[in-house]
Amino acid sequence: MNNTRSLWIKIGYETLALEGEKELKIESLSKKIGISKSSFYHHFADMQLFIEELLNYHLEQSKIIAEKEKLAQTIQPELIEILVEHKTDLLFNRQLRFHQQQKEFRETLKKSNQIIGNEFVRIWATDLKLNLSVKQLESIFELALENFFLKINPENITSEWISDYFENLKKIAQNFE
């Protein structure tokens, strides 16, 4: 991918993740990058194509996260470090949840969850050492995931906050045994 195109995608991805879809404006992105608006149209025919590129970029980021999760053996510190490192990706995923009434966002969210979720549940189940069925764990995980994305924001995606979140989740899951 050429550098200018990559820069547009990087800044657009971060903007959508941190500020939401309404802030994806060509002029403001252009100012953030320091490149003319015409450069945007050179690389992307319109905003819809640009958003499709951002969604595809998110799926690529999800694959990177999943690969890292495969190597992790524990929630603390390994998985938590991965989540903190991928703060922008988590916030982008949060925006997908907020805008899932849009078909493209909903489909990308579903694909991203499939890519990341399987490894996450594996680590979680192993680390918690609970005597629950896979179906029970997946159900609890799905509820926890919804709750997690409702609670996160740019300020609280820290090792400490995520660690506390997982500790509370562990206590809740233990009540199901």
pTM greater than 0.75 (yes/no): yes
User: What's the pLDDT at 1?
Assistant: 55
Q: 177 or 145, which is more confident? A: 145
pLDDT digits (tens, 9 = 90+) for 96-144: 999 999 999 999 999 999 898 877 877 877 777 777 777 887 788 788 8
Tell me the domain boundaries of the chain: 52-174
* Residue carrying the six token digits 């879809």: 21
pLDDT digits (tens, 9 = 90+) for 68-96: 999 998 888 999 999 999 999 999 999 99
